[in-house]
Amino acid sequence: MSNIRKYEPFYNKGREKKLAKVEEAYKRFLETKTFEWQPWLYGNPIGKLITVEVEDCPRFGETAYMEMDSARTALMVVDMQTDFCGKGGYVDIMGYSLDPNEPGTTANAIAPIKKVLDCVRKTDISVVHTREGHEPDLSDAPFNKVLRSKIIGNGIGIGDVIPGGGGRLLVRGEPTWDIIPELYPQDGETVIDKAGKGAFLTSAMDLVLKSMGVTHIILCGIITDVCVHSILRELNDCGYWVTLMKDGVGSSDYNNHMAAIKSVKMQGGVFGNVTDSDHIIAAIEAAGLVK
């Protein structure tokens, strides 16, 4: 006797309705190469439609387009903190390069992010920043994470005092934990503090984004293969449309950085899509958004 569950027939109608919408969008994509805005799902646009060119989609060497409503789009800037891209911070203590002119470093991401941030701040696109850090008593810092940080930091780990007056490493409220001055949040921008590489388990990110009405994310920040990729995957799993800005991300290892970008584009965009700062700005300007 089979133990396989036989599902009730009332599931059929809901499935067929969704598949019909997918089929409609699929046929449109074949005609336009565009992931079009879906009014049946999100409602009519309340801002202006932006159409951003994305690369290697659906297959490598091909080009497609992502259509998003400016008023339901957020530029998410991940963990641009001194601890990850500045002197005397975590990445610096671990001995990785902070050369802003070296491709793929965490500091190399600063200029492209600044360029897009300056543009987005003239529009109705929301800006969301994240910061990784722990409570002063380290109650939300897992033992294994703290131990590993101390080993790779040659005796200086999460919660330890940084030589030279930098405060305690990766602890909320300390100087190196905060976002760098070049990209510091402005009045009205959202900051989400998280205790992990990802954000959906250790913060209210999903609740915040849904409360803001966000459906599409332009994602940038650091570290490409760590926090950025963790959040990217979480966003994708929760149904957000994510476009990674490849020149606005950086890592402590160039090969990991490049592999992380490539992995987004596998299987037709298994985690989202990829573009760069120039294409984002061009799309914003073409939509007539810049005030």
Q: Which of 57, 85, 220, 227 is catalytic?
A: 227
Of the residues 56, 69, 194, 220, which is catalytic? Answer: 194
Distance CA 229, CA 46 (A): 29
Write the DSSP symbol of residue 107: G
CA distance 17 to 43: 17
Structure tokens at 179: 């976002």
Tokens of residue 74, six digits: 């957020």
Helix (H) or strand (E) segment spanning residue 248? strand 241-250
* CA dist., res. 75 & res. 118, Å (int): 11
Active site residue 194: yes
Q: Which of 56, 57, 69, 79 is catalytic?
A: 79
User: What is the maximal distance between C-alpha atoms in the chain?
Assistant: 71
Bridge partners (DSSP) of residue 130 are 78, 192
What is the C-alpha to C-alpha distance for residues 139 and 17, in angstroms, rounded to an integer? 47
79 is catalytic: yes
Active site residues per annotation: 79, 194, 227
